[in-house]
Amino acid sequence: MVALSFAVLVAVAVLTCLSMAWVLGANSNSPPFAPAIGANAISTMQAAFVIGVLAAAGAIAQGGSISETVGADLIDGVTITPLAAIAGLLTAATFMAIGIYTRYPIPAAFATTGAMVGVGLSLGGDPAMATYRRLGTFWLLVPFMSGGLAYATAVVLRRDDVPETVGVPLLAGFVGAILANVRLGVIPDPEAAQGTLATFLSRRLGGGPTIAGTVDLGVVLVTLAAGLLAAVWVRRRVLASVERGIRSFLLVLGGIVAFSSGGSQVGLATGPLENLFREGLGLPGIALLSLGAAGILAGAWMGAPRLLQATSREYAQLGVRRSIAALVPGFVIAQLAIALGIPISLNNIILSGVVGGGLAGGSAGVSRRKIGFTVTFWLLTLASSIAVGFGVYRLFATVAGG
């Protein structure tokens, strides 16, 4: 009877994980390709297909760090049980459903973090204050980092003395250099859980001396080479046709951001099940990430087209250059969050980027009232999801005990 009850709990926990991943795939991965659709660089159905594949790949290759944070670092003194995981995921999914219904994007990161803190406290755990300070600091800096980087990007693209055959390739080189240093679980590294392309190629080519005792010269050279290759490719496209070249860069950038989005979002669905899969079932982390990736893939293919059509109309009004200015910080900050293991919602970054890019033109182009209302929604989400998660787990525990 006990074994049967455990099996039922596992089945329900897996279903809630898949449901949460489905919602993330349908709603949290649309911004990267909305600009490309608005610019007629790709169709809606093609974008939904590509988003699903790239986000699922990013989930498997990069999702481990945030999954561990959500599953183990948000509360001290207790481990998340299957029942607590179910309570947390259902709470987070409910908040996201409210956001979809009201048409105000509730950040999945806030909803999930708050819900898991709530169920952890309900289990009798202690607040992980060091983790909260780290998350809070990063979240507070996101609008300034994203808005500032978007502003700088938009200024470069708008300058009359910087032709687009120079400015756009420079941005592409910047993105390519960072991409070479993105940590991926599929790249082996004897010194880290996830390796980078720059480190891997540097070692294969014999490495090199270190600069200031810390920076590998081989890594620097591979990074510069990656940036140069990206810049040359985009420059050739732009020289052939400015508009088509910019659209090509926008399309590739959208794909990179979609990949990053999968890596930063999947942990919100899989994190609560970390202890169950590793300790209870004895399965490797890749099995859990694959489960989340499957849910994201299904959500993107089945639910994303409708949202893509709506968001693409908004990005069509922004224009391709301002859209690029919003997506560049999305990629950079999402990768920084993944490297630090900090749960983040891509919509927060993109919104800040849209505002920052708009300021470069003299106006944010976004309703101040809506921004204020959205930020209030975010703060209310974080606070109320803690209380709701606490109560939902207590209710579940009472019913299960009874």
Where do the structural domains in the chain lie, given as residue ranges?
Answer: 2-401
Per-residue pLDDT of the chain (402 residues; tens, 9 = 90+): 445 577 888 889 899 999 899 988 887 777 777 777 776 778 888 888 888 899 999 999 888 889 999 988 999 989 888 899 999 999 998 888 777 676 666 788 899 999 999 999 999 999 999 999 999 999 988 888 888 888 888 887 777 777 888 888 999 999 999 999 888 877 777 666 677 888 888 887 766 666 655 667 788 888 999 999 999 999 999 998 888 888 888 889 889 988 998 998 899 999 999 988 888 788 888 899 999 999 999 988 887 777 776 666 666 566 677 778 888 888 899 899 998 889 988 777 877 777 776 666 555 455 566 667 767 777 888 899 999 999 999 998 888 764
- Beta-bridged to residue 211, according to DSSP, are 215
State how far the Cα of 80 lies from the Cα of 66, in Å rounded to an integer. 16
- Beta-bridged to residue 126, according to DSSP, are 76
**87-104: burial string, b at 16+ Cβ within 10 Å, e else:** bbbbbbbebbeebbeeee
State how far the Cα of 334 lies from the Cα of 355, in Å rounded to an integer. 18
State how far the Cα of 16 lies from the Cα of 332, in Å rounded to an integer. 30
- CA distances to 76, 129, 258 from 46, rounded to whole Å, are 44, 44, 14
State how far the Cα of 20 lies from the Cα of 90, in Å rounded to an integer. 8
Contact 389, 123 (CB under 8 A): no
State how far the Cα of 355 lies from the Cα of 132, in Å rounded to an integer. 27
State how far the Cα of 234 lies from the Cα of 170, in Å rounded to an integer. 9
| pTM over the 0.85 mark | yes
State how far the Cα of 194 lies from the Cα of 28, in Å rounded to an integer. 24
Type and span of the H or E element at 195: strand 195-196
State how far the Cα of 328 lies from the Cα of 256, in Å rounded to an integer. 10
Contact 159, 350 (CB under 8 A): no
Q: State residue 215 phi and psi, 5-degree precision.
A: -100, 125
The angle, 0 to 180 degrees and rounded to 10, between the axes of the packed helices 129-158 and 320-340 is 150
- CA distances to 58, 174, 178, 384 from 61, rounded to whole Å, are 5, 22, 16, 32
Contact 308, 37 (CB under 8 A): yes
Q: 3-state DSSP call for residue 341? A: coil
| Other beta carbons less than 10 A from residue 137's beta carbon | 10
